[in-house]
Amino acid sequence: MVLVQKKVSLIYAAVIFLAFMPFLSPVLALLIGLFFSLIGIKHENIAKYTSIALQASIVLMGFGMNLTQVISASKTGFFATAISVFFVLLSGILIGRVLKVDSKISLLIASGTAICGGSAIAAVAPVINAKNFQISFSLVVIFILNAIALIIFPSIGHYFNLSQETFGYWSAIAIHDTSSVVGAGATYGAKALEIATTVKLIRALWIIPLSISIAIFQKDKISSKIKIPWFIGIFIIAIIVAYLLPQWQDTYNHLHWLGNKGMVIALFLIGSNISIFEVKEAGVKSFILGVLLWILIGISSFLVLTYKF
């Protein structure tokens, strides 16, 4: 048994090493973890490090957020972003109840759709003590929809002859992850990329108030004490430090890169610690919830922005 676990440890170490390579994407890391779980390769003690990896990655990614760009873009993008965040969160909770989806999965999918995909899910998950299968299923939904959005959004924009400004706002609000927003914006044009990136940055900052708000309402049933997401406070400090000490920008870039790689490792660990039974427990209705929310925010934001511009 000891020998088997040593071999499993070596396999896990190899995957974690590969996580620092450019070809191992977050989606692929999650799928590898799921495959390991499916064929019975599971580390006995690795699960306890999943939450730490998620929280540390969020903190390190804070060093890559440019507060100056957020402030400059907030005059035009803040209110649209705020409305979309509250609208999607409320819709996600309500639709989740109608479909009788697990409440934590509903909140994770709604958070990922409303804010910034996998990063929002990673930030909210430890606050609500989400289980691995709840996190994993939510991430799978978000990743699939991200891939679809990256392909079809530029085509839709060209079909309706959207200006680069309108497309930039639309992609930043309606697409989940930053990487897909940047990819769609870059495909559409330089101006679209600039607007999409800055507005997306504003949207990503909603991780902070959302996590704190959830912590206030998620009280321990025994002690009734508020579970404070301390890593979010460190995340804020990271953003402020990067803003106040710009001379260390190269260091911040390295830390942000490390945070992205840490997220890849965390997704691998999440995938490797779930079971087929847990995936089935999440149910098809959870995926339907994600699709409905994505269509809802995509169509509503499109109509509002095309009417405005």
**Distance (Å, rounded) from C-alpha 172 to C-alpha 187?**
14
Predicted local distance difference test score (pLDDT) of residue 225: 45
Q: Are 122 and 142 in contact (CB under 8 A)?
A: no
**What b-and-e string marks burial along 88-124, b requiring 16 or more CB atoms within 10 Å of the CB?**
bbebbeebbeeeebbebbbbbbbbbbbbbbbbbbbbb
pLDDT of residue 160: 92
Written as six digits, the tokens of 275 are: 């079971």
Tell me the residue type at 18.
Answer: L
What is the pLDDT averaged over residues 23-34? 79
pLDDT at 222: 38
Place of tokens 């511009």: 309
In contact, 203 and 172? CB cutoff 8 Å = yes
The end-to-end CA distance of the chain, in Å, is 65
What is the mean predicted confidence (pLDDT) over 263-275? 76
Domains of the chain: which residue ranges? 47-308
Q: Among 219-223, 231-235, 281-285, whose mean pLDDT is lowest?
A: 219-223
The kind and range of the H/E element at 205 are none
Average pLDDT, rounded, for the chain? 79
**Is 12 exposed, middle or buried (CB count within 10 Å of its CB: 0-12, 13-18, 19+)?**
buried
Neighbours of 276 (CB within 10 A): 11
Amino acid at 107: L
Percent of the chain at pLDDT > 90 equals 10
**Most confident segment among 52-61, 110-119, 163-172:** 163-172
Task: Give the pLDDT confidence of 44-64 residue by residue, as tens digits.
Answer: 677 677 777 877 887 887 787
Q: What is the pLDDT of residues 84-114, one digit of tens each?
A: 788 888 999 899 999 988 888 999 999 989 8
Region 300-304 average pLDDT: 89
Tokens found for residue 254 = 């390295």
Please tell me the predicted confidence (pLDDT) of residue 161. 92
Task: Determine how many CB atoms are found less than 10 A away from the CB of residue 190.
Answer: 10
The closest alpha carbon to 301, from 186, 189, 188, 196, belongs to: 196
Task: Tokens for 38, please give them.
Answer: 């499916």
- pLDDT tier at 226 (50, 70, 90 boundaries)? very low
pLDDT of the residue at 223:
41
Please state which of the ranges 41-45, 146-150, 258-262 shows the lowest mean pLDDT. Answer: 41-45
User: Which of 57-66, 253-262, 268-277 shows the highest mean pLDDT?
Assistant: 253-262
